[in-house]
Amino acid sequence: MTRTTVTRTFDPLLLIAHNPGPMTGSGNNTYLLAGSDGSATLIDAGVGEPRHLADLASALSDRGSVLDTVLVTHGHRDHAAGAPAIAAAHPDASFHKHPWPGEDALDDVRWQSLGDGDVVRAGDATLQTLHTPGHSPDHLAFWHEPTRTIFTGDLLVLGSSVMIHWSRGGDLGQYLASLERLLALEPRRLLPAHGPAIDDPQAILTGYLEHRLQRERQVLDALGAGHATVQAIAESIYDGLAPSLMPAAQENVRAHLEKLKIERRATFEHGRWTL
């Protein structure tokens, strides 16, 4: 057991990664935790955008801190690709994430392995690592128990839904279990990697779970109506969706179908999905 001493102010500094785009919305959030001993930890690495690096350098200089740790929630490019640029500018920093063989090799940086239950120091705070797969196989969240705050990476985005990219390791069943796990911790504040902070976690998490169940009912209804391919099911559910967003919708439908298959509620034979 770690004994929690007096809780110092816990005030993660939001540093935006300056990478807005169709898949990242207004861009990524990264969070800096600077300690009273001059150490500092950054959560998520962004993409190496020079303005992000400049903001990071000036925040560290304002606090008289040296970056010693970078924790990355998962290997998707908008969270991890900035690691080599940060490593070049901050040679004392070590880089930590859950292993994702193949994907991790894309980064010219030496990743150190983090797993479920690992406890990491971040500034004056102590964070517990939660392995929360589903959006990606390597996804981590970081739990600050004294303030009941969770850094949630890509598990939730306020006002939007999260991509479950089945063909790149996404798993809907695991994702829902990860949301249930967050809910069970009874957090007070979620700090996501996209969009604003979430101050009513119970309502948002419950809403997310309900949304997926509703989507699942739509997939079952489409199968019942005789739609037998991912494309046909996606077109029946996402009627009128912009063509540019249809590939993402199909990934979501596929993730639902694979979950139903595991649960023996749908079958796939001779190229056709059926109930």
Task: List residues near Zn ion by CB under 5 A.
Answer: 76, 154
At 199 the three-state DSSP class reads coil
Across the chain, where does the E strand assignment appear? 13-16, 29-34, 39-43, 66-71, 94-97, 111-113, 119-122, 125-131, 140-144, 149-153, 189-192, 267-269, 272-274
Nearer to Zn ion, 164 or 257 (CB): 164
Choose among 9, 20, 14, 2: nearest CA to 43.
Answer: 14
Q: How far is the CB of 159 from Zn ion (least distance, A)?
A: 17
Nearer to Zn ion, 123 or 169 (CB): 169
Nearer to Zn ion, 151 or 273 (CB): 151
Q: Which residues contact 239 (CB under 8 A, 6 or more apart)?
A: none
Q: How far is the CB of 80 from Zn ion (least distance, A)?
A: 9
Nearer to Zn ion, 43 or 125 (CB): 43
Residue with the CB atom nearest Zn ion in the bound state? 76
Residue 140 contacts residue 163 (beta carbons within 8 Å): no
Nearer to Zn ion, 12 or 153 (CB): 153
Separation CA 183–CA 181 (nearest Å)? 5
Separation CA 215–CA 77 (nearest Å)? 27
Q: How far is the CB of 153 from Zn ion (least distance, A)?
A: 7
Q: How far is the CB of 83 from Zn ion (least distance, A)?
A: 15
Q: How far is the CB of 193 from Zn ion (least distance, A)?
A: 7
